[in-house]
Amino acid sequence: MTDMLEARSESDTGTPSVDAPESGAGAPSAASRDAQPASRTRTEKRAAARGRKAARRTESAPQARAEVIDIDVDPNDPLLIFLQTAPGPLEIGALPSYSPAVTRMREQGVQMVVPLVTSGELVGILALGPRLSERTYSRNDKRLLDSLARYAAPALRLGQLMREQEKEARDRERIEQELHVAQLIQQQFLPDELPELGGWHLSAFYRPARTVGGDFYDIIELADGRVMVVTGDVTDKGVPAALVMASTYALLRSTADVETSPGEVLRRVNELLIPQIPMNMFVTCLVLVIDLQTGSTHFANAGHNLPYLRRGGRVTQLEARGMPLGLMSGSVYDEHETVIEPGDIVLLYSDGITEQHDRSGDMFGFGRTADLVAAATSGDDLIDRSVEALGVFSADVDQEDDITLVALHRGRSGGYHDTLSFSVPSEPGNEREVMDRVAAVAESALPLARLDALKTAVSETAMNAIEHGNRGDASLEVSVLVRRSAETITVEIGDYGRGRQRDPDIPDLGLKLAGLQTPRGWGLFLIEQLADRVEEFTDGERHVVRLVMRTDDDIDGIDTGDSDTTEEGARS
Amino acid sequence: MSLESDVTQRGATAAIALRGRIDRDAGDALDRAYTAAHGIAPQVIELDFTQVDYINSTGIALIVGLLARARAQKVTVRAAGLTAHYQHIFEITRLSDFIEIVQPVGH
């Protein structure tokens, strides 16, 4: 970096003037002088006389003032190399005439150039115009300037470095802030939890890329009881993509209120999006509308990846194609229909998985994705395997794009066979009543060991709701909802607290026996160990813990310690 | 009272037959039972859970407290009559690492 510091006297004649005021400043006009009254005090008269004198001097003296002018020096200008090794201040005539910068300096009256060199690096140039006294620069002047340069150069370099660092810090902060804002926008629109769909199980995984893409997914429960499942991907990254994603999300939601045909939803959203989407940006989007009772599924596609369907051991894709949203007005989207049979698994996914590269540059691709679908035993299993496989595949490689996976698993029979809803006051001991009433619904669906596990998990959850959620206030009730389908027993226990009270330590018996942990603190541990899945969410002012136990015969492969969060990504 | 107990001696073993629930209300009863059993000066205290139908996390904490007390007094603790479910809980909490699980006498 080279700073150009230049000062010259601005004078048409070159005549220096030391004390000349700005033209007209402080000098009354002749007309105003004539108009002044005779009764002025002596002081006022003296002041007026000084003003007149100054005005006369201004009229006769040349205009002169110092100013900084700006000359850009091209980094390749030979002047820079020349000055790097220059012995000290130099007359303009001693500089290489073939330098464009020297030409420009001559044009602007520069007479003396002082290179500012520190640690062998030219960090600035001090360019001076003619002396105000009209004399040439003396040897003493040059010595003084040389001395000045020796002190000024390192100070200037220090200032430059600080300025560079501050700029870099500001740039980094701005980029980080932008990414943070984009992530906040994007995650604001992802579902906090997935709805419980009788006899169906939804699993989802989303992990943003470092630079934030525009993936989104949504589950919309329609007024007619069907469910709309949406996945999409906005091209581009950062805040613009996040804003388009938010806009698309809102348009899809509002359109779903009045139109449930997937093709028509896409058509309308496309028309609404086109006027507001930036140039060169578009949105791929897949919409499925599912009848949970029959499995009848209507779907349409706006340029998104084709979903995979696993039936038995066979994997196919749900074929539907259409123009991405936001590209072309008048686009229409063909609607297709299929039936998702009991036991089927459907995977919706973004290109963050298929287009991820490994160290050697190979893409994960559709083949590997289809293989994962073929091997899946459930939606959760599919997502867990996919995340793991992708992690192994792309070890030591940055994630290139957002990764979104939504798995939809239809159980062997849809719908709930039994539902029980009740509440109990928040009094100690009522957790046993909750446990017994839940057991009455679940006992015919679960083998004894799993029924006992559910009973303890329910008892502990209810006790937490009574003691912590509702703080033992008997006027507050603990609500309980039990649903039994062919595949699952789902128990939702609600209170008016702020969430599960996390113990500060994972219970460790060795530490407890050594007196390093309290003997208590086993409740959440038991719940998480004994239930197949534990979720929590808010419903209005209630905090709800949902316990899920599978009733499948094939439960050997179920990891009862499975949590619902995988790596850094969010799993719903 | 959620928990009742009888203490009997079998050689160097003091057997505590527990009846009822081990929960927040069982603290005093369990404490009294242990004190009575330790008064017999045994080398081993055997907790018989055959007639215990409910143990919750507070009950587990009480058993941990009893175990800590016994270990400080160099007394071995055994557990008899646990259902498969509570055996599983003893395993996942690692109580079974410190308490030998045995069949109750007569089984």
Phi, psi of A330 (to 5 degrees): 90, 0
Per-residue pLDDT of chain B (107 residues), as tens digits, is 689 999 999 888 999 999 999 999 999 999 999 999 999 867 999 999 999 999 999 999 999 999 999 999 999 999 999 999 999 999 999 999 999 999 876 65
pLDDT in tens, A98-131: 999 999 998 888 999 999 999 889 999 999 988 8
Of the candidates A428, A518, A525, the beta carbon closest to that of B24 is on: A428
b/e burial code for range A176-210 (CB count within 10 A of at least 16 → b): eebbeebeebbeebbbebbebbbbbbbbbbbbbbe
Q: Which position has the higher pLDDT, A556 or A337?
A: A337
Note whether A528 contacts B: Cβ–Cβ < 8 A.
Answer: no
For residue B84, list chain A residues with Cβ-Cβ distance below 8 A. 448-449, 452
Q: Label residue A165 exposed, middle or buried (CB < 10 Å: 0-12, 13-18, 19+).
A: exposed
Q: Do domains A189-410 and A416-571 have the same CATH topology?
A: no
Note whether A510 contacts B: Cβ–Cβ < 8 A.
Answer: yes
Decide if B68 is inside a domain.
Answer: yes
Q: Nearest CA of chain B to the CA of A462: how many Å?
A: 11
Q: Which position has the higher pLDDT, A256 or A560?
A: A256
pLDDT in tens, A206-222: 888 766 668 899 999 88
8 Å CB contact of B83 and A510 = no
User: Average pLDDT in the A162-185 region?
Assistant: 85
How many domains does the structure of chain B reveal? 1
Decide if B60 is inside a domain.
Answer: yes
Of the candidates A428, A453, A520, the beta carbon closest to that of B61 is on: A520
pTM of the model: 0.47
Determine the residue among A435, A500, A513 to mutate to test chain B binding: the one whose Cβ has the most chain B Cβ atoms within 10 Å. A513
Number of H helices and E strands in chain B, helices first, is: 3, 5
Q: What is the ipTM of this complex?
A: 0.94
Q: Nearest CA of chain B to the CA of A424: how many Å?
A: 19
Instruction: Assign A281 to helix, strand or coil.
Output: coil
pLDDT in tens, A486-499: 778 889 999 998 77
Domain of residue B48, CATH code:
3.30.750.24
For residue B60, list chain A residues with Cβ-Cβ distance below 8 A. 522, 526
Note whether A509 contacts B: Cβ–Cβ < 8 A.
Answer: yes
8 Å CB contact of B61 and A513 = no
8 Å CB contact of B71 and A513 = yes
Of the candidates B68, B93, B98, the beta carbon closest to that of A522 is on: B93
Decide if B107 is inside a domain.
Answer: no
* Fold for the domain defined by A189-410: Phosphatase 2c; domain 1 (3.60.40)
Note whether A505 contacts B: Cβ–Cβ < 8 A.
Answer: no
pLDDT at A467: 92
Question: Containing H/E element for A298?
Answer: strand A296-302
Pairing between β-strand A200-207 and β-strand A66-68 as defined by DSSP bridges: unpaired
Q: Label residue B82 exposed, middle or buried (CB < 10 Å: 0-12, 13-18, 19+).
A: buried
pLDDT in tens, A507-559: 888 888 888 888 888 999 999 999 998 888 877 788 999 999 988 644 443 33
Amino acid of residue A418: D
Of the candidates B64, B89, B97, the beta carbon closest to that of A512 is on: B64
Range of the domain at B44: 3-102
**CATH assignment of A416-571, given 3.30.565.10, 3.40.50.300, 3.40.640.10, 3.30.450.190?**
3.30.565.10
Q: Nearest CA of chain B to the CA of A429: how many Å?
A: 9
Question: In this model, does residue A183 exceed pLDDT 80?
Answer: no
For residue A507, list chain B residues with Cβ-Cβ distance below 8 A. 93
End-to-end CA distance of chain B: 28
pLDDT in tens, A352-402: 889 899 999 999 999 999 999 999 888 888 998 999 999 999 888 888 888
What percent of chain A clears pLDDT 70, i.e. is strictly above it? 80
Decide if B18 is inside a domain.
Answer: yes
Of the candidates A428, A432, A519, the beta carbon closest to that of B61 is on: A519
Decide if B36 is inside a domain.
Answer: yes
| CA neighbours closer than 13 Å in the CB half-sphere of residue A379 | 25
Residues comprising chain A, all counted: 572
**Domain chopping of chain A, boundaries:** 3-20+61-159, 189-410, 416-571
Of the candidates A453, A513, A526, the beta carbon closest to that of B57 is on: A526
